[in-house]
């Protein structure tokens, strides 16, 4: 386990979506976050106390969490210098980028010298099995998306808590760096070797017989040309009986690919169901979740109603309006 509490890194990121790991920890593990670190020219804040590395360590932070994500997952000179500064201040460092902290010589040697730990959250487990798609017991729900970073993790956690609130066992199954840091467990599915994508998810959400739910965090999108392979293997490994589709109505183009339009909602949902049927022939869609955080509340409500009518499914913003309508549909099934 990664020693808490945490100092959350924002650096000089100007990408509100890219800081999702730091934001997720602030949102879902607020008691474990002492503050945020950002440079003078970093425009983003989580509303936490702004602390230097030394102040963070003095405030009790045991670990700097490099909670930013970027396509490709490489560390620039900036990030390396800040990780070094955190170690010099006496903190461990955790990151979820594809490039490993331990593979950066200056970070690795300094950590060893100071007796501090490096946590590479995106390290996949060893000895993953190849998936087989054979039917297994248990209830599973998977979140899917029109794009990357559209709220799948928030939705998955919200649904897990809402099912638990009905007195039904439910477990959040994390598949990305942020979810893994929040849950303290999971599999970084985009970092596994390609042959083992579905097998990793079969292992993450094995057969269960307690009538409870595994609520599995989706990744990417079948319509994202960078990452659809991950999404496909996740659908097959999850063998979900229920899908919830997530969408950001303010997204202007597929993340990282200017000019590429988002898919039509109905087409996206239908294609996800079709791919899912390979291992879960009776899969059904139970709801749509929107991230309306950038919208006026009335407009958000109206948009949810419009989409609900168009698709014939409950549609909500899980943060603004809760997930009760979706859980009703799920449990009525």
Give the CB-side neighbour count of residue 273, counting CA atoms within 13 A: 15
Pick the binder of its own copies from 16, 59, 257, 266 (CB under 8 A).
257
On whether the CB atoms of residues 246 and 196 are closer than 8 A, the answer is no
- The least distance separating its own copies from the CB of residue 9, rounded to whole angstroms, comes to 21
Q: Does 98 participate in binding its own copies (rule CB under 8 A)?
A: yes
Q: In this complex, which beta carbon is closest to its own copies, that of residue 132 or of residue 306?
A: 132
Nearest-CA neighbor of 181 among 159, 162, 153? 153
Of 3, 212, 229, 322, which lies in the binding site for its own copies, with binding defined by CB under 8 A? 229
Phi-psi region of 193 (alpha: psi -120 to 50; beta: other; left: phi over 0): beta
- Dist CA 123 CA 140 (whole Å): 25
Lookup result for tokens 């999702």: 20
Residue holding tokens 């929040």? 182
CB of 220 to its own copies, least distance (A): 8
List the one residue from 100, 102, 260, 284 that touches its own copies (CB under 8 A). Answer: 260
Peptide bond into 5 cis (omega under 30): yes
- Beta strands (DSSP E) in 73-183 are 92-95, 118-120, 139-145, 170-173
- Measured between alpha carbons, how far is 205 from 213 in angstroms, rounded to an integer? 10
Nearer to its own copies by Cβ, of 87 and 101: the residue is 101
The window from 29-37, 155-163, 256-264, 312-320 that contacts its own copies (CB under 8 A) reads 256-264
Nearer to its own copies, 250 or 257 (CB): 257
**What Cα–Cα distance (Å) separates residue 78 from each residue in 39, 81, 84?**
10, 5, 10
Q: Name the minimum Å distance from CB 273 to its own copies.
A: 13
Query: Which range of residues in 16-24, 57-65, 191-199, 243-251 is near its own copies by CB under 8 A?
Result: 191-199
Q: Which is nearer to its own copies, 134 or 211 (CB)?
A: 134
Q: And the tokens for 95? A: 């990151």
Q: Does the protein bind its own copies through residue 80 (CB under 8 A)?
A: no
Q: Which is nearer to its own copies, 177 or 316 (CB)?
A: 177
Among 42, 73, 90, 138, binds its own copies (CB under 8 A): 73
* Residue 278 touching its own copies (CB under 8 A): yes
CB 315 within 8 A of CB 304: yes
Nearer to its own copies, 10 or 69 (CB): 69
| Residues that bind its own copies in the complex, under the rule CB under 8 A | 71-73, 98, 129-134, 189-195, 197-199, 222-223, 225-234, 236-237, 256-257, 260, 271, 274-275, 278-279
């Amino acid at each position: 386990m990664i020693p808490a509490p945490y100092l959350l890194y924002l650096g000089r990121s100007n990408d509100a979506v890219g800081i999702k790991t730091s934001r997720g920890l602030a949102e879902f593990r607020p008691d474990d976050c002492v503050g945020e670190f950002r440079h003078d020219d970093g425009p983003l804040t989580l509303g936490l106390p702004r602390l230097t590395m030394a102040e963070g360590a003095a405030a009790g932070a045991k670990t700097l969490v490099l909670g930013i994500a970027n396509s490709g997952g490489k560390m620039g000179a900036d990030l390396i210098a800040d990780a070094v500064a955190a170690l010099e201040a006496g903190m461990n460092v955790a990151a979820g980028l594809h490039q490993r902290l331990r593979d950066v010589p200056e970070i690795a040697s300094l950590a060893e010298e100071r007796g501090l730990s490096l946590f590479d959250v995106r390290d996949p487990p060893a000895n993953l099995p190849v998936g087989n798609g054979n039917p297994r017991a248990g209830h599973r729900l998977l979140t899917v998306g029109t794009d990357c970073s559209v709220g799948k993790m928030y939705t998955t956690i919200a649904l897990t808590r809402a099912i638990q609130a009905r007195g039904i066992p439910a477990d959040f199954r994390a598949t990305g760096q942020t979810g893994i840091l929040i849950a303290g467990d999971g599999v970084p599915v985009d970092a596994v070797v390609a042959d083992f994508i579905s097998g990793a998810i079969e292992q993450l959400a094995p057969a269960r017989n307690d009538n409870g739910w595994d609520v599995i965090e989706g990744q990417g999108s079948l319509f994202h040309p960078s990452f659809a392979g991950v999404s496909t293997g996740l659908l097959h490994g999850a063998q979900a009986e229920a899908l919830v589709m997530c969408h950001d109505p303010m997204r202007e183009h597929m993340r990282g690919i200017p000019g590429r339009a988002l898919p039509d909602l109905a087409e996206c949902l239908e294609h996800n169901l079709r791919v899912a049927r390979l291992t879960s022939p009776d899969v059904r869609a139970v709801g749509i979740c929107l991230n309306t955080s950038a919208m006026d509340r009335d407009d958000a409500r109206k948009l949810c109603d419009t989409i609900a009518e168009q698709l014939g499914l409950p549609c909500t913003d899980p943060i603004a309006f809760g997930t009760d309508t979706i859980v009703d549909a799920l449990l009525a099934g």
